Homo-oligomer: A and B are copies of this chain.
Amino acid sequence: MKEGPDIARVAALIGDPARANILTALMDGRALTASELAEHAGVGLSTASGHLSKLSHGHLVQQRKSGRHKYFQLADGDVAAVLEALMGLASKDGPTRVRTGPKDAQLRTARVCYNHLAGQMGVQMFQSLVSKTVLDEQGADITLTPNGTAFMTEFGIDLDDLRTSRTPLCRSCLDWSERRTHLAGTLGRAMLREMEHKGWLRRDPASRAVVFTSRGKTAFDHCFPVGV
């Protein structure tokens, strides 16, 4: 077998353990340096450099030079979505799951997906926004209603600022632990940032977990009540 479908190229790229480690490390949306990623992957710097070059050519990651550092991040949300989907498959792969530890449960309740909130709380927020008619959901198309504009402004988000970006304001993202839609796009990102800014939550620096403060959880539930 020499020439296979393109799908094989991409999958093989993700299929190397070191590269998979790099990609999962980037799943929280942060940009990391080559050395940090080498550390995460558990390989030497030269090896990591080679991997990053391949991931770059495969358009799975994006690079940005800043001084003598080079920062890497996932190319876009689609890559993150594919990784999430693969995790969904892998997690039910037979009894290999030594997982479901305490960390795992925490990821299930709230985690960062690329740059927005995912997990049970991400889904709760989204569904609450839909029933409050802040968002309108038509298939995979999410739009902000006129009603929603006021809500967001009050929440502390500068919509004009967001609209300058060429990436869509609202986007749906499928949650693989919950099998439900949650909010992505620049608005999803802005809301996560705002909640962090309000002090509702804290991002675990070592993982994708998001920890709500008790005050934050209360405010969250008040702002995004379930089953309205």
Q: Chain A residues in contact with chain B, CB under 8 A? A: 1-21, 23-24, 41-43, 58-60, 78-79, 81-83, 85-94, 96, 123, 126-127, 130, 137-141, 174, 179-181
Which of A79, A85, A87, A92 has the most B CB atoms < 10 Å from its CB?
A: A85
Bound CA–CA A194/B88 (angstroms): 31
Given that A85-B85, A93-B59, A137-B137 are known contacts, is A3 also in contact with B17, CB under 8 Å in the complex?
yes
Chain B min CB distance to A208 (Å): 12
A179 partner residues in chain B, CB cutoff 8 A: 140
A93 partner residues in chain B, CB cutoff 8 A: 6, 9-10, 58-59
A41 partner residues in chain B, CB cutoff 8 A: 1
A86 partner residues in chain B, CB cutoff 8 A: 7, 10-11, 82
Chain B min CB distance to A142 (Å): 11
Chain B min CB distance to A170 (Å): 13
Bound CA–CA A139/B82 (angstroms): 19
A18 partner residues in chain B, CB cutoff 8 A: 1, 4
Do residues B126 and A130 form an inter-chain contact, with CB atoms below 8 A?
A: no
A interface majority secondary structure:
helix
Bound CA–CA A5/B13 (angstroms): 14
Q: Which of B2, B8, B43, B130 contacts A139 (CB 8 A)?
A: B130
A88 — nearest CB in chain B belongs to which residue? Answer: B78
Bound CA–CA A169/B9 (angstroms): 35
Sorted nearest first, the 7 A-B pairs with minimum C-beta distance are A4-B17, A12-B15, A8-B20, A6-B90, A15-B15, A11-B14, A11-B15
Bound CA–CA A138/B128 (angstroms): 12
Please, could you name 28 A-B residue pairs with CB atoms under 8 Å apart, sorted by A?
A1-B16, A1-B41, A2-B17, A5-B20, A6-B90, A6-B91, A7-B14, A7-B23, A7-B24, A7-B86, A7-B90, A8-B14, A8-B16, A8-B21, A9-B15, A9-B90, A10-B86, A12-B16, A15-B15, A58-B93, A78-B89, A81-B85, A82-B88, A85-B85, A126-B139, A137-B139, A139-B181, A140-B181
A130 partner residues in chain B, CB cutoff 8 A: 139
Bound CA–CA A139/B129 (angstroms): 11
